[in-house]
Structure 1
């Protein structure tokens, strides 16, 4: 029996899929060779991830001096059994388990379908060697452990907001927050929108600026922080600003982080509503804000 180019279990026999999907593989599921994939243990997805708690013991005193603390990565363990009608099919299933997320340099999309119908996701890579038991009567047991460097659990659905500066704006804008926070207003137009994070933890957007735009600024009005750039984008130019990686890339590959002004400040989308504003000159360009609601 030859191994096909992409051999993965499917969920065609399930009226509602509840389980995990990663690197084209799903469990629970029934594959085309009659193998039943049973997911028995799924740990680390719910609850908080690891913690990196900082502190320094007080000399000759009780307690510690408090220090900044952060979340660590999220480790998820999947364990189960595969029951196959023949030993040949079981050997194929064993090979498939070993092939999941096989490139340790790559992040793979992990999707989790919950009984409520909600699907959440994270990007993961193998954390420990995958374990596959010896074949016994057409049955194998397996364990896959992955690590998500970003511990957030993201909504599988992406929210997209498009902002366009008003055409012909030349009289400046009204700054809706108090000093000392200020932004340049000369000859610029502004556009506002509310980004709603339906999760429980702050998420970070990716903003795509398409020209023509001059000196765009993307402000979070609620926290009084603005990411401002000194750059002229011609028609056809695309500048991608990744708030998680903190990168600025022009036309797919050229770094333009040097266009960030001295006062540029990165921000996040807190749970609930976030009032955002695009300020720019140059006419008919756009800012497309993409994000996913996030939970711990």
Structure 2
């Protein structure tokens, strides 16, 4: 049974602030870079005037240095723990999770040396440099909303009896995604066919809109994934359909929301739009 020591921190499945099932104590000592990512900005001097003209400010990739200590009951347990650490400091994307009041995560990979120093037959200290290409710290909770195409109920039915009372209502076709964080986050939309030339309209709280139009037909069983961060459009997990999509990529602002509506010229009850996002922090 794993016993947590302080704030839970995990690199993939490896707990870095705990006593594990083998009796190995993992003591995290520092997580440099977790609280702040480097900024990318330029300042051009103003001619014959005080000050400078600033460029937009963007966050760069976030380097994170993870340091700590491993204390094991035996030399064999120490060596096994070292191998687990080497595997966890992955050459491919892995998730670093810090269970703060609002648990957050980064996706990162090894970007420098993994330094391991032997203290005695049972203990080592370590330092690992990893970098998150996407500097945002995301909520560990994935927000998911789904809706079918909008449908209309009511209206005029025949035969009619005077006086005529025309009432109808539209149901479905809309949902809202929320970002509780401090920096914009970008949703992923998945359309399950059948759907002909579907359109996704996104409305921000200030009334401005972004629209994504897909100029092709999805048949029953098709799945189209639109990643507004990667700017990718993938059909059935393999085929790029980016050339069929037009419009502007939506982003959910900090401490804001996005009202999402979708439509298609022909209604089909099997069609489904799903939107996912995570709140994001700087």
Scaled by the length of structure 1, what TM-score is found? 0.81
Report the Cα offset of residue 146 of structure 1: 1.5
Q: Paired residue for 2:163?
A: none
Report the Cα offset of residue 73 of structure 1: 1.5
Task: Determine the C-alpha separation between the residues in 2 that align with 1:60 and 1:213.
Answer: 60
Is the 1:212–1:236 Cα contact (8 Å) retained in structure 2?
yes
Q: Paired residue for 1:86?
A: 74
Report the Cα offset of residue 60 of structure 1: 5.2
Q: Paired residue for 1:58?
A: 46
Report the Cα offset of residue 61 of structure 1: 4.4
Report the Cα offset of residue 93 of structure 1: 2.2
By percentage of residues, which structure has more strand? 2
Report the Cα offset of residue 24 of structure 1: 2.1
Report the Cα offset of residue 98 of structure 1: 2.3
Matched, 1:142 2:126: yes
- Unpaired runs of at least 5, structure 1: 1-10, 172-188
Report the Cα offset of residue 65 of structure 1: 2.5
Q: Paired residue for 1:196?
A: 178
Q: Paired residue for 1:266?
A: 249
Identify which of 101, 106, 109 aligns with 1:125. Answer: 109
Report the Cα offset of residue 68 of structure 1: 2.6
Is the 2:148–2:173 Cα contact (8 Å) retained in structure 1?
yes
* Aligned counterparts, 1:277-288, within 5 A: 277-282=261-266, 283-284=268-269, 285-288=271-274
Report the Cα offset of residue 95 of structure 1: 2.6
Matched, 1:21 2:10: yes
Q: Paired residue for 2:26?
A: 37
Q: Paired residue for 1:6?
A: none
Report the Cα offset of residue 278 of structure 1: 1.0
Matched, 1:248 2:248: no
Local SS of the residue matching 1:133: strand
State the 4+ residue runs in structure 1 displaced beyond 6 angstroms. Answer: none
Local SS of the residue matching 1:134: strand
Q: Paired residue for 2:139?
A: 155
Q: Paired residue for 2:95?
A: 109
RMSD: 2.3
Task: Determine the C-alpha separation between the residues in 2 that align with 1:22 and 1:281.
Answer: 47
Is the 2:10–2:98 Cα contact (8 Å) retained in structure 1?
yes
* Aligned counterparts, 1:200-215, within 5 A: 200-215=182-197
Local SS of the residue matching 1:33: coil
Q: Paired residue for 1:293?
A: 279
Is the 2:224–2:234 Cα contact (8 Å) retained in structure 1?
yes
Matched, 1:228 2:213: yes
User: Which has the greater radius of gyration?
Assistant: 2
Is the 1:44–1:76 Cα contact (8 Å) retained in structure 2?
yes
Q: 1:199 to 1:69 in 2, by over 3 A?
A: closer
Is the 1:82–1:141 Cα contact (8 Å) retained in structure 2?
yes
Q: 1:90 to 1:99 in 2, by over 3 A?
A: same
Task: Determine the C-alpha separation between the residues in 1 that align with 2:179 and 2:48.
Answer: 46
The superposition leaves residues 81-135 of structure 1 with CA deviations (integer Å, 9 ceiling, x where unpaired) of 11122222222222332222332xx211111112x3x321111011211110024
- Unpaired runs of at least 5, structure 2: 156-170
Report the Cα offset of residue 12 of structure 1: 2.2
Scaled by the length of structure 2, what TM-score is found? 0.85
